[in-house]
Amino acid sequence: MKNSANYYLGKNRIKWLYIAGFFFLGTAFLLGIMLGSTPLSLEEIADAFRKGAHASAGARIFTYVRLPRTLASLVCGAALSVSGAVIQGVLANRLASPSMIGVNAGAGLAVTLCTAFGIFGGWQLSLFSFIGAFAAVMLVSFGAKRWGASRGTVILIGVALNSLLGAVSDTITTFIPEVAVMSSDFKVGAFSAVTYQKLIPAMVVVAAVIVILHTLHNELDVLTLGEENAKGLGLNTALMRTLFLLLAALLAGCAVSLAGLLSFVGLLVPHAIRRVAGGKAWNLLGLCALYGAAFVCVCDTVARTAFAPYEIPVGIIMAYLGAPFFVFILIKGKGGHSRD
Residues that bind other proteins (CB under 8 A): 2, 4, 7-10, 92, 215-216, 218-219, 221-222, 224-226, 228-229, 231-236, 274, 278-280, 337-339
- How far apart (Å, rounded) are the C-alpha atoms in residues 89 and 93? 7
Residue among 228 and 310 whose Cβ is closer to other proteins:
228
* Amino acid (one-letter) located at 175: F
Q: Return the CA Rg of the chain.
A: 20
Among candidate residues 308, 29, 72, the one with its CA nearest the CA of residue 190: 72
Residue among 102 and 336 whose Cβ is closer to other proteins:
336
Residue among 184 and 229 whose Cβ is closer to other proteins:
229
DSSP one-letter code for 319:
H
Residue among 151 and 304 whose Cβ is closer to other proteins:
151
CB of 274 to other proteins, least distance (A): 7
Residue among 113 and 230 whose Cβ is closer to other proteins:
230
Among candidate residues 153, 134, 132, 133, the one with its CA nearest the CA of residue 144: 153
CB of 88 to other proteins, least distance (A): 10
CB of 217 to other proteins, least distance (A): 8
CB of 36 to other proteins, least distance (A): 39
**Cβ proximity of 78 and 209 under 8 Å:** no
Residue among 213 and 261 whose Cβ is closer to other proteins:
213
Cα 307 from chain centre: 25
**Cβ proximity of 131 and 110 under 8 Å:** yes
CB of 291 to other proteins, least distance (A): 18
CB of 91 to other proteins, least distance (A): 12
List of residues 6+ apart from 172 with CB closer than 8 A: 112, 113, 116, 179
